[in-house]
């Protein structure tokens, strides 16, 4: 059997949102009016949207159900309000998880003075009989400057989210799982199978900010990640059971 790595470039993402209302969106998968039968999902991952909101812009109250919604802010502050009466402000490095389950409504806005950029990822749950739930992990409660931090475990979707920091000259193993989804936040990253001596081989792909790679590992042996060039790199990796 062979390894599969499918690279999706940032510039190839579907552009959505409402730019006239201060909302710009880049979608990695079929979403809304955009339908691509060859790119509907990757395992349980249904969406990976890059959202950019100008000050005062946002998504008015809207419903969700049977979806695990995970949000990672990279710039600015995201104000979240939901139908349970909860209001929170999500900042860079925080991890927000909303389990829509049987149904929930929420509002997402940029109430701050600066532009807001966040990555929102949707995953399909294994069962549909749970009640809505919410969690927010603050950046200061996570290990700082650790090369590989598990920032969220989602048993409901059999998925784990890793935050990786790569430094030049210090390659890292990609977390093991049947399915891996890599999204680059900052820097340039080489990804590919390790050589026989467990060192990085020539990268199968080179990724830049906003690029992603879908990796199905049907054979034995690890994949390696390397920071390319002289700058560190930051990325999110979903490790999923399929």
Would you say 183 is a known binding-site residue?
A: no
Paired with 235 in beta bridges are 164, 184
Is residue 143's pLDDT more than 80? yes
CATH topology of domain 13-141: Jelly Rolls (2.60.120)
Would you say 170 is a known binding-site residue?
A: no
Coil, strand or helix at 155: helix
pTM as predicted: 0.93
DSSP 141: G
Average pLDDT over residues 103-128: 95
Model confidence band, residue 32 (pLDDT cutoffs 50, 70, 90): confident
Residue 200: both structure tokens together:
């990085």
Would you say 62 is a known binding-site residue?
A: yes
Q: In whole angstroms, give the CA distance from residue 224 to residue 174.
A: 5
For the chain, residues classed under CATH 2.60.120.10 are 13-141, 148-240
pLDDT at 61 (0 to 100)? 94
Rg (alpha carbons) of the chain, rounded to whole number: 18
pLDDT at 145 (0 to 100)? 81
pLDDT at 135 (0 to 100)? 95
> Helices H, strands E: what count in the chain?
0, 21
Tokens 């940029």 appear where?
110
Would you say 64 is a known binding-site residue?
A: yes
More confident site: 232 or 128: 232
Q: In whole angstroms, give the CA distance from residue 209 to residue 95.
A: 19
Coil, strand or helix at 157: helix
Model confidence band, residue 201 (pLDDT cutoffs 50, 70, 90): low
Model confidence band, residue 100 (pLDDT cutoffs 50, 70, 90): very high
Is residue 221's pLDDT more than 70? no
> CATH assignment of 148-240?
2.60.120.10
Yes or no: say if 112 and 56 are a contact pair by the CB < 8 Å rule: no
- CA-closest candidate to residue 229, choices 200, 199, 194, 188: 188
Q: In whole angstroms, give the CA distance from residue 27 to residue 210.
A: 11
Is residue 157's pLDDT more than 80? yes
Is residue 200's pLDDT more than 60? no
Is residue 240's pLDDT more than 80? yes
Q: Give percent above pLDDT 90 in the chain.
A: 77
């Amino acid at each position: 059997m062979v390894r599969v790595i499918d690279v999706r470039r940032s510039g190839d993402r579907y552009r959505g949102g409402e730019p006239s209302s201060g909302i710009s969106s880049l979608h990695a998968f079929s979403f809304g009016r955009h339908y691509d039968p060859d790119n509907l999902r990757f395992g349980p991952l249904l969406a990976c949207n890059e959202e950019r909101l100008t000050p005062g812009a946002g998504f008015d109250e809207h419903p969700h159900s049977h979806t695990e919604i995970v949000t990672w802010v990279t710039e600015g502050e995201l104000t979240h309000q939901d139908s349970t009466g909860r209001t929170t402000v999500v900042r860079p490095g925080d991890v927000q998880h909303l389990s829509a389950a049987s149904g929930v409504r929420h509002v997402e806005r940029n109430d701050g003075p600066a532009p807001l950029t966040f990555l929102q990822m949707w995953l399909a749950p294994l069962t549909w009989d749970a009640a809505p739930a919410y969690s927010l992990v603050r950046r200061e409660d996570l290990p700082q400057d650790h090369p590989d931090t598990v920032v969220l475990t989602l048993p409901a979707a059999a998925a784990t989210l890793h935050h990786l920091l790569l430094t030049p000259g210090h390659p890292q193993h990609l977390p093991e799982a049947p399915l891996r989804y890599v999204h680059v936040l900052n820097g340039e990253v080489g990804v590919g199978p390790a050589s026989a001596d467990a060192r990085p081989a020539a990268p199968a792909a080179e990724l830049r900010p906003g690029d992603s790679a879908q990796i199905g590992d049907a054979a034995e042996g690890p994949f390696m990640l390397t920071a390319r060039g002289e700058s560190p790199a930051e990325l999110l990796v979903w490790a999923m059971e399929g």
